[in-house]
Amino acid sequence: MIDIHCHILPGLDDGAQTIEDSLDMAKEAVKQRIHTIIATPHHQNGKYTNCKQDILLEVAKLNQVIQTNNIPLQILPGQEIRINGDIIADYQNNEILTLNQSNFLFIELPSGHVPRYTGQLLFDLQLKGLIPIIVHPERNRQLLENPDLLYQFVERGTLTQITAASVTGAFGNKIKEFSARLIEANLTHFIASDAHNIHNRGFKMEEALDLIEKRYGIDTFYMFTENAAHLVDGNNIYAEPPTQIKRKKFLGVF
């Protein structure tokens, strides 16, 4: 199994703080049958700045420590970029790191809203040959209230990644139900842990994928696991045409 979103690099953001934390996370990942992790520290989120060359260096260091400790896990480089108007300029200045240096790029929205320039930026990124992936859209308040907005982004070529803990209900029933609706409407393409530690923000990948297989079948299970592998290899991913979520009231949300 491949986890494409994880805060396992030590001391860079609100994830692992020490190398011991990173090793604890690595061991827990292996227990969940994860063999490859893309390390995605926060970048330009108002608190953390982690540029491309720094991340590449820290990934190399962590891989060495993991190998020394005989943990069967590979760490690949990535970045979780908070949406901002300078992303394209930063990419051209070699400060932006795509996922495993492919053409896939994580974009993080603020938790409470979707900036007005989002659609244009997602379009402009695609014009540059990049494929934007919105991370954890199920936890964005505006998208929860107006899923048609996410439909428009996906219909125009943007991909999305939901969090394993959202699928299992760790963020509450409202987010769990919205995650299910995104899966059913083909509005998401990846499941990842967004793990920060082994305590309150763990992996939950095995549990989430088991739930997905039971609810949606083996084809959906393989779609998510194989898409992660395609992403790592820089290949095209599998995406069914999206459908709009019916705007009926569920769990108190229209």
Look at residue 76 and tell me if it is in a domain: yes
Look at residue 252 and tell me if it is in a domain: no
CATH number for the domain harbouring residue 23? 3.20.20.140
Look at residue 204 and tell me if it is in a domain: yes
What domain count does the chain have?
1
Let me know: does 12 contact 49? Beta carbons within 8 Å: no
**Six-digit token string for 185:** 């409407």
Look at residue 253 and tell me if it is in a domain: no
Look at residue 227 and tell me if it is in a domain: yes
Look at residue 250 and tell me if it is in a domain: no
Average pLDDT of 42-47? 90
Buried b (16+ CB within 10 A) or exposed e, 145-164: ebbebbbbbbeeebbbbbbb
> 73 lies in which domain range?
2-233
pLDDT digits (tens, 9 = 90+) for 82-99: 999 999 999 999 999 999
Look at residue 19 and tell me if it is in a domain: yes
In 3D, which of 35, 39, 20 has the Cα closest to residue 72?
35
Give residue 247's pLDDT: 65
Residue 157, helix vs strand vs coil: coil
Give residue 248's pLDDT: 55
pLDDT digits (tens, 9 = 90+) for 161-220: 999 999 999 999 999 999 999 999 999 999 999 999 999 999 999 999 999 999 999 999
**Strands 74-77, 42-43: parallel, antiparallel or unpaired by DSSP?**
unpaired
Look at residue 141 and tell me if it is in a domain: yes
Instruction: Give just the sign of the alpha carbon dihedral 94, 80, 106, 23.
Output: positive
Work out the burial of residue 43: count CB atoms within 10 Å of its CB; fewer than 13 is exposed, 13-18 middle, 19 or more buried.
Answer: buried
